[in-house]
Amino acid sequence: MTPSPAALPSSADDGGARRDYQVFRRLVIALLVVACAGPLALNVADPDLWGHVLYAEEWIADGKLPRTATHTYTAEGHPWVNHENLAELALAYGFRTLGVPGMLAAKVVLGMAILLLMSLAAQRQGVRPIAAWATFLLVSYNLHAFFPLRPQLLSFLCCAVMLFVIERAFDAWGYRRTDFTNTRRKSDNSPIEWRWLMGLPVLFVVWANSHGGFALGLVLLAAILGGRAIELVYRLGAAGVGRAMGLLGVGAACGAATLATPYGYGLHLWMKGSLGQPRPEITEWLAPQPGNPVFWPFVSLLALSIAAYAFTDRRRDAVKMVVLALVAWQAASHLRHIAFFALLCGFWLPPHLQSIAGRLRNRAVEGLPTAHLNSWMRVGIASALAGAIGLQALFLGQRIAAFPVYRSWYPVDALQWMSEQRAAGNLLVSFNWAQYALAALAPEMRVQFDGRFRTCYPQEVIDRHFDFLLGDGSPRFRSETSGPIDGARTLEIDRPDYVLVDRKYQNAVSVMANAGEAEDSEWTLVYQDAVAQVWGRRDVVDEVSSSQFVPPDRRFVSEHLSHTAVQWPALPRLKTPQPSTTGLTEVAGRGADAPAKPYNEG
């Protein structure tokens, strides 16, 4: 924060020292800004990224958006509500034009644009840059875990734009009854900048076509505008009803704008059914736990928000406090809402935190002697700050330059092996690997279930998959028509040709081991490393007459674990190059990012 005048040299001879303090302040701000970019540069490959790009590329190639499930043999003809279509197009075109490093850089720019909107809002409220960016550093660490390349990024951007617009629209909002009456008595203008609110419906058209987070955005908007409408009526009486109705009209227009999607009202009906059912199998829908990377940043931000409103000297906005409390409750219930809590804190906490910090600073410097720094100390402090900025920038550059797909996380080598065997047919694969498998093996291979979840799969298919993956050892939500939990049921009903097992899921490993050991077993293990197993149906891989017969010398079973990584999209290296129109191959140059050694590296 800016040093208090009491802490600065006051004589005319110390003008140079004052300039040095200004330099230090600017360097600290620059350090905070670069530090905020670090968490937003997360370069971990999201499991669904392969699918997002693949589906958008197929949409571009076909010229129309698929309305039924693709690349699956268990949900053929089932309606597919792709509520992330605009985000997927952005990802596909982004990789086409910018490449992998360019997309990682664009992601950081998007994140910093969100923080810049917060900074502009804080500046208009008189918050010093150091106080603002110190707050944003904690905000960025709360966003960190939610900032891989994924459609949710557009949801965060839209939410930030909405909050900024609301701040500008109510920039002149009065704090007391007399503020409202005096404003009305002096002119006919209300304390609302209506021109800012007029663009919100357009924002919600974009948001509704980008990510399902628009539903939370509508709830936030309704709560804020509804709260302001109540304040207008309470403070102005009948004179405020017209403006209150205007605010409600803006909210209604935004709600109507979300109908401008390929699905119209069908999207809302689907969301009502989908969000009305719990998802205990998906980590992001669980409550944060101490083991989660974002747990302690969230706890810190929650404690900071409570302290900010408890000890501030500024007016406490009842509407903001209620909304922040509701979102904090949702964040404490579902991991994925922590990001939205962080966004609200970034816009609403800085004025209160500066109020507290200013009071503490004034008490701390009271009675302290004037600080004098010799030239060596000034140079040393400036050099240390510049060096810290350089190290942060170096770290940021390294994050942007690499987009690793780790062999210890993903079945890079297993998919390489399957590609070499020209594996084709129906594949049962852990849902978190399924879209990577599709990018590597489609169209020859179709999957039983993937990360699209309820957007294109009936609940019974989902239940069979998680019965196989999790069994009854984890919290589950199941359809009443799915019957008792039976991990082997998907092998019997869906009859895949291959099974690609993520060995972290012990239930799936156990199911396949039992199936392989049965006296009349239909399954044989054809590939294994420390990360994955590939099982083939015996009539597919053991029969010499089969086109996919795998002789013993081409089978690979070991406990080999590689900690190396390959650049995304990490698609298999093909022995015979084949033309392709998918952006995934065009981005990577299919095979260019394949392992330098085959699956049995070392």
Q: Are residues 337 and 433 in the same domain?
A: no
The larger pLDDT score, comparing residue 153 to residue 7, is at 153
**Inter-residue contact 156 to 214 (CB < 8 Å):** no
What is the mean pLDDT of the segment spanning 129-151? Answer: 96
Sign of CA dihedral 539, 541, 545, 548: positive
Tens digits of residue pLDDT in 279-298 = 888 888 889 999 889 999 99
Asked whether residue 172 is domain-assigned, the answer is yes
The count of C-alpha atoms lying within 13 angstroms of the C-alpha of 128, restricted to the half-sphere facing its C-beta, is 17
Answer whether residue 590 shows pLDDT above 70.
Answer: no
DSSP secondary structure, 86-146, as one string: HHHHHHHHHHHHHHHHHHHHHHHHHHHHHHHHHHHHHHHTT--HHHHHHHHHHHHHHHGGG
Answer whether residue 351 shows pLDDT above 80.
Answer: yes
What is the mean pLDDT of the segment spanning 352-367? Answer: 78
Tens digits of residue pLDDT in 366-386 = 554 555 667 778 788 889 999
> Which of 143, 166, 167 lies closest to 155, judged by CA?
143
Q: Are residues 336 and 413 in the same domain?
A: no
Q: Are residues 337 and 426 in the same domain?
A: no
The larger pLDDT score, comparing residue 570 to residue 274, is at 570
Asked whether residue 272 is domain-assigned, the answer is yes
Among residues 365, 399, 418, the one where a domain terminates is 365
- The predicted pLDDT at position 371 comes to 58
Q: Are residues 411 and 310 in the same domain?
A: no
Asked whether residue 73 is domain-assigned, the answer is yes
- Kindly report which listed range (187-201, 213-227, 292-306) carries the lowest average pLDDT score: 187-201
The strand pairing partners of 525, in sequence order, are 535
> What is the C-alpha separation between 408 and 421, in angstroms, rounded?
22
- DSSP summary character for residue 315: P
Answer whether residue 507 shows pLDDT above 70.
Answer: yes
Q: Are residues 561 and 420 in the same domain?
A: yes
List of E strands, 436-576: 445-447, 498-502, 523-528, 532-537, 556-557, 565-567
Confidence of residue 262 (pLDDT cuts 50, 70, 90): very high
Count of structural domains, the chain? 2
Residue 220, sorted as left (phi over 0), alpha (psi -120 to 50) or beta, turns out to be: alpha
CB atoms within 10 A of CB 249: 12
Percentage above 70 pLDDT, the chain: 88
- The predicted pLDDT at position 379 comes to 82
Tens digits of residue pLDDT in 392-435 = 999 999 999 999 999 999 999 999 999 999 999 999 999 999 99
CA distances, 93 to each of 88, 90, 435, 534, 588 (Å): 9, 5, 19, 33, 14
Could you tell me where the DSSP H helices lie in 276-348?
Answer: 295-311, 318-333, 338-348
Q: Which residues contact 116 (CB under 8 A, 6 or more apart)?
A: none
Q: Are residues 353 and 414 in the same domain?
A: no
What is the mean pLDDT of the segment spanning 213-227? Answer: 96
- The predicted pLDDT at position 373 comes to 66
> What is the C-alpha separation between 228 and 247, in angstroms, rounded?
8
| Burial state string for 159-190 with b = 16 or more CB within 10 A and e = fewer than 16 | bbbbbbbbbbbbeebbeeeeebeebbeeeeeb
Q: Are residues 360 and 499 in the same domain?
A: no
- The predicted pLDDT at position 180 comes to 39
Distance of CA 472 to the CA centre of its chain: 29
Answer whether residue 167 shows pLDDT above 80.
Answer: yes
> What is the C-alpha separation between 107 and 95, in angstroms, rounded?
12
Q: What is the mean pLDDT of the chain?
A: 88
One-letter identity of residue 415? L
What is the mean pLDDT of the segment spanning 186-193? Answer: 58
Asked whether residue 390 is domain-assigned, the answer is no
- Kindly report which listed range (179-188, 272-281, 556-565) carries the lowest average pLDDT score: 179-188
> What is the C-alpha separation between 361 and 7, in angstroms, rounded?
10
Alpha-carbon torsion angle 458, 462, 464, 470, nearest 10: -170
Residue 264, sorted as left (phi over 0), alpha (psi -120 to 50) or beta, turns out to be: left
CA distances, 51 to each of 63, 215, 268, 430, 452 (Å): 18, 23, 23, 14, 9
Q: Are residues 469 and 354 in the same domain?
A: no
Q: Please, which contacts does 119-127 make with residues 24 or more away whose CB atoms are closer than 8 Å?
A: 120/164, 121/163, 121/164, 121/167, 121/168, 121/347, 122/350, 122/351, 124/167, 124/168, 124/171, 125/350, 125/351, 126/351, 126/354, 127/350, 127/351, 127/354
Rounded to 5°, angle at Cα 353 from 203 and 224: 30
What is the mean pLDDT of the segment spanning 237-263? Answer: 95
Task: Enumerate helices (H) and strands (E) in the chain, giving the number of each.
Answer: 23, 8
Sign of CA dihedral 290, 338, 28, 314: negative
> What is the C-alpha separation between 412 and 232, in angstroms, rounded?
59
Parent domain of 305: 16-365
Q: Are residues 325 and 435 in the same domain?
A: no
- The predicted pLDDT at position 576 comes to 43
What is the mean pLDDT of the segment spanning 548-554? Answer: 95
- The predicted pLDDT at position 224 comes to 97
Asked whether residue 60 is domain-assigned, the answer is yes
- Kindly report which listed range (22-26, 52-56, 341-345, 533-537) carries the lowest average pLDDT score: 22-26
pTM of the full predicted structure?
0.89
Q: Are residues 126 and 44 in the same domain?
A: yes
The larger pLDDT score, comparing residue 582 to residue 205, is at 205
Among residues 365, 380, 395, the one where a domain terminates is 365
Q: Are residues 448 and 345 in the same domain?
A: no
**Inter-residue contact 489 to 465 (CB < 8 Å):** no
Length in residues, the chain: 602
> What is the C-alpha separation between 359 and 370, in angstroms, rounded?
19
Asked whether residue 378 is domain-assigned, the answer is no
Confidence of residue 597 (pLDDT cuts 50, 70, 90): very low
Among residues 305, 338, 365, the one where a domain terminates is 365
Asked whether residue 399 is domain-assigned, the answer is no
Asked whether residue 397 is domain-assigned, the answer is no
Q: Are residues 415 and 270 in the same domain?
A: no
- The residue behind tokens 């009539």 is 539
